[in-house]
Amino acid sequence: MTRFIFITGGVVSSLGKGLASAALGALLQARGFKVRLRKLDPYINVDPGTMSPYQHGEVFVTEDGAETDLDLGHYERFTGVNALRTDNVTTGQIYSKVIAKERRGEYLGATIQVIPHITDAIKEFVMSDLDGEDFMLCEIGGTVGDIEGLPFLEAIRQLGNELGRERSMFMHLTLLPYVAAAGELKTKPTQHSVKELQSVGIQPDLLLCRADRPIPDSERRKVALFCNVRTEAVVPALDVETIYQVPLTYHEQGLDSEVLRHFNIAAPPLKLDRWQEIVRRVMAPEGEVAIAIVGKYTGLHDAYKSLAEALTHGGIANNVRVNVKWLESEIFENENTVTHLEDVHGILVPGGFGERGSEGKINAARFARERHVPYFGICFGMQMAVIEAARNLVGIKGASSTEFGACSDPLVGLMTEWEQGGVKQVRSEDTDKGGSMRLGAYPAALSANSKVRSIYGSGSISERHRHRYEVNPAYEAQLAKAGLVFSGKSPDGVLPEIVEIPDHPWFIGVQFHPELKSRPFDPHPLFTDFIRAAVEQSRLV
């Protein structure tokens, strides 16, 4: 029997609802339950794939090729459970589905309304595609009071009734702000937020209260009294130093036991040793390395969420702290790379789109290649490294990507046909921007004696993709002669998946996004080895 925990947020956004949900998932899992997490996003976009990373942060890609909210990345990193396309939905998707059904005449002439048609479609999504989970955690995006969120709140209110208390629970994340003039944590915003929820018919069962200092018992009791919950169900969520402490601190504050009490389940034993070990390593590293991330959205770190986490995981594996130096690639178009990159032990050029900043990324790749600094190019970062090698190693001056317009030497070009799971996929220059990339897990074969083969310890891998352009296989021989080899390809040998420079301490470019599969308790081998190489580099400089 699957139980549903609905998680809403109030007072302000950015309280870490995704992390809180992921941490609760991790705790229930640590008690031996099978868990899964879902995100219901009230915005009208069909998916976050076409949203600006500056507004929405990273686009997380699932194994089955859905472009989703970055919270799914937290879910995967905290539980190790791969998310699916059916774990993220938006208002845009719900409406598209309902309208398509109406056009097909499937509502038999009924007047289509938010209640019941939109709410039914939301409920159907929540209840769909279950696989014997003990707990399904459903996070509602946004903040209570948002107009867009109302149909979602109505849908979960109805579900609460239909499932009954023994199968459903409402958890609300709020903030108790500290007001210096009063010298107190304030409960009023939380009271208002709960009133807002109650006005749409939802009585929260548990309040998770963020605060920057311990919440006095008197305030806990006050929140309980005014918000109509038990005092034990007002759970403090205090600020921590590393996000991987969150499951441990929530447990100490009684979150998981309170949830189990609600469902009337005798608490099974809890195994938290893997979290304790991760926190121990993060808090007491034996050294540190500096890694430059040369990107286009470095002003908003959420745009590179999984990447930053994967670097941390690589640090955990090597017992070092990874200090990230965020660099906007455009600066290298006017300033010397040397001034900014001389003090780092590794350079990472992440995924990206569009021409702006691309020359700066090419310059960063050149610096890494010529100065023997470990270089990790991911997706766009691989493509730029290939262009750099073509221009400066092979001497093809016009080398570029057709992503930036027509060029004499398309080292990177648009793929118009490829195969996925035996089905031919076709696209052209003017295909819709949304959902039209090579997305999700694809296998690759690694060549014998390559660096990547020894790093993975295997000749065949599967990694997640999100790109429209491919490195042009026609230049393979010329590049190989100059020292950059294609060491990973699609199993049919057609698409270049990985490039490396054998005669360099660590120069690897991958067409896929390994950061999406890294976990704190299972760091991705490429990140582990990149950080290992950076540690070696730090001993040289």
Residue 443, strand partner residues: 462
Residue 60, interface with ligand GLN (CB under 6 A)? no
Q: Which is nearer to ligand GLN, 85 or 468 (CB)?
A: 468
- Cβ neighbors of 462 (< 8 A, separation 6 or more) are 441, 442, 443, 444
In the complex, what is the shortest distance from the CB of residue 75 to ligand GLN, in angstroms, rounded to a whole number?
21
**Cα 248 vs. chain centroid, distance in angstroms?**
21
Q: Which stretch binds ligand GLN (CB under 6 A): 28-36, 356-364, 462-470, 532-540?
A: 462-470
Q: Which is nearer to ligand GLN, 170 or 469 (CB)?
A: 469
Is 486 an interacting residue with respect to ligand GLN (CB under 6 A)? no
Give the Cα separation of 276 and 224 in Å (integer): 31
* Binding window for ligand GLN (CB under 6 A); candidates: 91-99, 310-318, 463-471, 517-525: 463-471
Answer for which of 369, 466, 504, 524 binds ligand GLN (CB under 6 A) is 466
Closest distance of CB 511 from ligand GLN, Å: 8
Structure tokens at 160: 């609460």
Stretch that binds ligand GLN, among 210-218, 258-266, 350-358, 428-436 (CB under 6 A): 350-358
Residue 291 CA to its chain's centroid (Å):
20
Active site residue 345: no
The answer to whether the peptide bond before residue 189 is cis (omega within 30 degrees of 0) is no
- The region of 12-20, 177-185, 466-474, 525-533 touching ligand GLN under the rule CB under 6 A is 466-474
Binds ligand GLN by CB under 6 A, chosen from 467, 489, 524, 532: 467
Q: Which of 251, 313, 467, 513 is catalytic?
A: 513
Tokens of 148: 């867009």
Nearer to ligand GLN, 146 or 359 (CB): 359
Would you say 172 or 466 has its CB closer to ligand GLN? 466
| CA dist., res. 272 & res. 214, Å (int) | 23
Residue 513 is among the residues annotated as catalytic for this protein? yes
Binding window for ligand GLN (CB under 6 A); candidates: 7-15, 24-32, 137-145, 347-355: 347-355
Closest to ligand GLN by CB, 152 or 380: 380
Residue 347 has which token pair? Answer: 């350079």
Question: Binding residues for ligand GLN, how many (CB under 6 A)?
Answer: 10
Told to check if 352 binds ligand GLN by CB under 6 A, we report yes
Binding test (CB under 6 A) with ligand GLN, winner from 34, 372, 468, 519: 468
Locus of tokens 């609905």? 6
Mark whether 379 is an active-site residue: yes
- In the bound state with ligand GLN, the residue whose beta carbon lies nearer, of 137 and 349, is 349
DSSP 405-472: S--SEEEEEE--EEEETTEEEE--TTS-STT-SEEEEEEEEEPTT-HHHHHHTSSEEEEEEEESEEE-
- Compute CA distances 457 → 212, 397, 529, whole Å: 44, 37, 12
Nearer CB in complex with ligand GLN: 157/465: 465
Residue type for 418, please? W
Distances (CA, A) of 369 to 343, 430, 500, 507: 15, 36, 11, 7
Query: Cα separation of 208 and 350, whole Å?
Result: 35
> Of 58, 388, 515, 524, which is the active-site residue?
515
- Residue choice 60, 78, 275, 353 for contact with ligand GLN (CB under 6 A): 353
Residue 469 makes contact with ligand GLN by CB under 6 A: yes
Closest approach of ligand GLN to the CB of residue 468, in Å: 4
The Cβ of residue 291 has, within 10 Å, a number of other Cβ atoms equal to: 23
Instruction: Mark the segment that binds ligand GLN (CB under 6 A) among 72-80, 194-202, 346-354, 482-490.
Output: 346-354
The strand pair at 375-378 and 287-295 is best described as unpaired
| Token pair recorded at residue 317 | 């594996």
CB 458 within 8 A of CB 473: no
Q: How far apart are CB 418 and ligand GLN at their closest, in Å?
A: 12
Residue pair 282/317 in contact by the 8 Å Cβ criterion? no
- Pick the piece of the chain touching ligand GLN (CB under 6 A) from 102-110, 229-237, 302-310, 351-359: 351-359
Give exposure, 104-122, as e/b (b: 16+ Cβ within 10 Å): eeeeeeeeeeeeebbbebb
Interface with ligand GLN, residue 517, by CB under 6 A: no
Report, in Å, the least distance between residue 306 CB and ligand GLN: 12
CB 466, min distance to ligand GLN, A: 5
Q: Least separation, in Å, of the C-beta of 330 and ligand GLN?
A: 16
**Is residue 275 within the footprint of ligand GLN (CB under 6 A)?**
no
Positions 107 through 146 that interact with ligand GLN (CB under 6 A): none
**How many Cα neighbours within 13 Å face the side chain of 93?**
24
Q: Which of 133, 379, 465, 504 is catalytic?
A: 379
- Tokens 């130096």 correspond to 325
In the list 9, 16, 149, 351, the residue contacting ligand GLN (rule: CB under 6 A) is: 351
360-419: contacts with ligand GLN (CB under 6 A): 379-380, 403
Nearer to ligand GLN by Cβ, of 351 and 488: the residue is 351
Q: Residue 482: which of 497, 496, 502, 498 has the closest Cα? A: 502
- The string of DSSP codes covering 119-143 is HHHHHHHHHSS--S-SEEEEEEPS-
Is the distance from CB of 39 to CB of 69 less than 8 angstroms? yes
Q: Tell me the angle at which helices 305-318 and 525-540 cross, rounded to the nearest 10 degrees.
A: 70
In the bound state with ligand GLN, the residue whose beta carbon lies nearer, of 8 and 358, is 358
* Residue pair 190/235 in contact by the 8 Å Cβ criterion: no
Q: Which residues lie near ligand GLN (CB under 6 A)? A: 351-353, 379-380, 403, 466-469
Active centre residues (catalytic): 379, 513, 515
